A and B are shown apart, each in its own frame.
Chain A
Amino acid sequence: MEKTGNQVFSQTPPPRTPIVRMENITKRFPGSVALEKVTVEFGEGEIHAVLGENGAGKSTLVKILAGIYTPDHGTIYYKGERVTIENPMKALSLGIAMVSQSPVLISRLTVAENLVLGMKQLGVFESPKKIRKYFEEVANKIGIKVDPEEEVWKLTYTQKQLVEIARALILRSKVIILDEALTYLPLEERRKFYKYLKEFTQQGGTVVLITHKLTEAFEVSNRITVLRRGKLVGTVKTGEVDIERVREMMFAERAKEITYERLMDGKPSEPVLEVKDLWVKNDYGTYALKGVSLTVNRGEVLGIAGIVGNGQAELVQAIMGLRNVERGTVLVNVKGRKYVMPDTKTLRELGVGYIPDEPLSHGVSIDFGLRENIAVMPGYTGAVINWSRLTQLAKKFIEEFSIVTPGAKTPLKFLSGGNLMKSLVARELDLSKHLLVAYNPTRGLDEVTSIKVRRVIKDKVVKENIGVLMVSEDLDEIFQVSDRIAVINEGKIVGLFEAKSADRSEVERLMVT
Chain B
Amino acid sequence: MVSIVVVRRVKPIPYFVVPIFALVIGIVVSMAILFFLTGYMVWPTDVLKSIWDGLTHPNVIANIFLLLTIIGFSLALSFKGGIYNIGGEGQFWIAAWVMVYLVFTTPYLTSGAPLVSKVLVLLIGFAAGFAWALVAGLLRGFIGVDEVPLTLMMNYVAYYLIDWFVMIPGMPWRDVYGYAKTRSLPQSLQYSILQGSTVSVEMIVVTILAGVIVWLLLDYTRLGLTIKIHGSNVKLLRSAGYSVPLTAAVALALSGGFIGLAGVVYLCGVTPSIRIPVETSTSGFGYLGILVTWLSMLELFAVPIAAYVVSSLYNAGFTLMAMKGMQQAGVTAGVTNVFIGSVLLMYALLITISEYKIKIVW
Q: Which residues of A line the B interface, CB within 8 A?
A: 29-30, 69-71, 75, 82, 84, 86-87, 320-322, 343-349, 354, 356, 358, 361-368, 372-373, 375-378, 381-385, 387
List chain A residues, Cβ under 8 A from B222.
Answer: 375-376, 381-385
**B171-189 near A? 1/0 per residue, CB < 8 Å:** 0000000000000000000
Number of A-B residue pairs having CB atoms within 8 Å of each other in the complex: 91
Does B168 sit at the interface, judged by CB under 8 A?
no
Query: Given that A347-B241, A382-B222 are contacting pairs, would A364 and B233 also be in contact in the complex, using a CB cutoff of 8 Å?
Result: yes
What are 12 sample pairs from A and B whose C-beta atoms fall under 8 A apart?
A: A30-B11, A69-B10, A84-B5, A86-B5, A362-B236, A365-B236, A367-B232, A372-B229, A376-B222, A376-B229, A378-B241, A385-B221
Of all A-B residue pairs in the complex, the 3 with the closest CB atoms, nearest first, are A345-B241, A86-B5, A348-B241
Docked-complex contact A368 and B11, CB < 8 angstroms: no
Q: Which residues of B line the A interface, CB within 8 A?
A: 1, 3, 5-7, 10-11, 220-223, 225-226, 228-229, 232-233, 235-243, 359, 361-362
Nearest B residue (CB) for A68: B8
B281 shortest CB reach to chain A, Å: 41
Contact residues of A: prevailing secondary structure: loop
Given known contacts A86-B3, A346-B241, A372-B225, what 11 new A-B pairs fall within 8 Å (CB)? A30-B10, A70-B359, A71-B361, A84-B5, A86-B5, A322-B239, A354-B239, A362-B235, A365-B233, A376-B229, A384-B222
| A173–B33 CA distance with the chains assembled, in angstroms | 52
Docked-complex contact A365 and B232, CB < 8 angstroms: yes
| A362–B239 CA distance with the chains assembled, in angstroms | 6
- Across the interface, A361 reaches (CB within 8 A) one of B3, B7, B235, namely B235
List chain B residues, Cβ under 8 A from A365.
Answer: 229, 232-233, 236
Docked-complex contact B241 and A70, CB < 8 angstroms: no
Query: Given that A343-B241, A376-B226, A381-B222 are contacting pairs, would A29 and B235 also be in contact in the complex, using a CB cutoff of 8 Å?
Result: no
| A362–B232 CA distance with the chains assembled, in angstroms | 11
B161 shortest CB reach to chain A, Å: 35
Nearest A residue (CB) for B1: A82
- Across the interface, B229 reaches (CB within 8 A) one of A347, A363, A368, A382, namely A368
Docked-complex contact B232 and A345, CB < 8 angstroms: no
Query: Given that A86-B5, A381-B222, A383-B223 are contacting pairs, would A363 and B236 also be in contact in the complex, using a CB cutoff of 8 Å?
Result: yes
Nearest B residue (CB) for A375: B225
Docked-complex contact B236 and A376, CB < 8 angstroms: yes
| A20–B238 CA distance with the chains assembled, in angstroms | 44
List chain A residues, Cβ under 8 A from B3.
Answer: 84, 86
Docked-complex contact A384 and B236, CB < 8 angstroms: no
Q: Which of A29, A373, A387 has the most CB of B within 10 A?
A: A373
Nearest A residue (CB) for B236: A365
Docked-complex contact A344 and B361, CB < 8 angstroms: no
Query: Given that A86-B5, A382-B222, A383-B222 are contacting pairs, would A356 and B239 also be in contact in the complex, using a CB cutoff of 8 Å?
Result: yes
List chain A residues, Cβ under 8 A from B240.
Answer: 344, 348, 376-378
B215 shortest CB reach to chain A, Å: 13
List chain B residues, Cβ under 8 A from A382.
Answer: 222
| A346–B6 CA distance with the chains assembled, in angstroms | 48
| A361–B235 CA distance with the chains assembled, in angstroms | 7
- Across the interface, A385 reaches (CB within 8 A) one of B225, B241, B242, namely B225
Q: Which of A75, A320, A362, A365 has the most CB of B within 10 A?
A: A365
List chain B residues, Cβ under 8 A from A346.
Answer: 241
List chain B residues, Cβ under 8 A from A376.
Answer: 222, 225-226, 229, 236-237, 240
Query: Given that A30-B10, A86-B7 are contacting pairs, would A383 and B236 also be in contact in the complex, using a CB cutoff of 8 Å?
Result: no
| A375–B236 CA distance with the chains assembled, in angstroms | 12
| A387–B242 CA distance with the chains assembled, in angstroms | 20
List chain A residues, Cβ under 8 A from B229.
Answer: 365, 368, 372, 376
- Across the interface, B221 reaches (CB within 8 A) one of A321, A348, A354, A384, namely A384
List chain A residues, Cβ under 8 A from B225.
Answer: 372, 375-376, 385
| A375–B228 CA distance with the chains assembled, in angstroms | 12
A457 shortest CB reach to chain B, Å: 19
List chain B residues, Cβ under 8 A from A364.
Answer: 233, 236
| A494–B333 CA distance with the chains assembled, in angstroms | 76
B244 shortest CB reach to chain A, Å: 11
B158 shortest CB reach to chain A, Å: 32
| A157–B252 CA distance with the chains assembled, in angstroms | 40
B174 shortest CB reach to chain A, Å: 44
Docked-complex contact A29 and B236, CB < 8 angstroms: no
B90 shortest CB reach to chain A, Å: 29
Docked-complex contact B5 and A70, CB < 8 angstroms: yes
B147 shortest CB reach to chain A, Å: 20
B228 shortest CB reach to chain A, Å: 7
Docked-complex contact A383 and B221, CB < 8 angstroms: yes
Q: Which of B1, B221, B236, B242 has the most CB of A within 10 A?
A: B236
Q: Which of A84, A344, A364, A376 has the most CB of B within 10 A?
A: A376
List chain B residues, Cβ under 8 A from A366.
Answer: 232-233
List chain B residues, Cβ under 8 A from A344.
Answer: 238-241
| A322–B221 CA distance with the chains assembled, in angstroms | 25
| A345–B228 CA distance with the chains assembled, in angstroms | 19
List chain A residues, Cβ under 8 A from B243.
Answer: 345
List chain B residues, Cβ under 8 A from A348.
Answer: 240-241
| A86–B358 CA distance with the chains assembled, in angstroms | 11
List chain B residues, Cβ under 8 A from A349.
Answer: 241
| A264–B232 CA distance with the chains assembled, in angstroms | 40
| A363–B236 CA distance with the chains assembled, in angstroms | 5
- Across the interface, A368 reaches (CB within 8 A) one of B220, B232, B235, B237, namely B232
B246 shortest CB reach to chain A, Å: 11
List chain A residues, Cβ under 8 A from B237.
Answer: 376
Q: Which of B226, B232, B238, B362 has the most CB of A within 10 A?
A: B232
| A70–B235 CA distance with the chains assembled, in angstroms | 30
| A403–B225 CA distance with the chains assembled, in angstroms | 23
| A384–B6 CA distance with the chains assembled, in angstroms | 44
Docked-complex contact A368 and B361, CB < 8 angstroms: no
| A346–B109 CA distance with the chains assembled, in angstroms | 43
A351 shortest CB reach to chain B, Å: 12
List chain B residues, Cβ under 8 A from A377.
Answer: 240
Nearest A residue (CB) for B235: A362
A116 shortest CB reach to chain B, Å: 26
| A296–B233 CA distance with the chains assembled, in angstroms | 31
A81 shortest CB reach to chain B, Å: 9
- Across the interface, B10 reaches (CB within 8 A) one of A29, A358, A373, namely A29
Nearest A residue (CB) for B362: A75
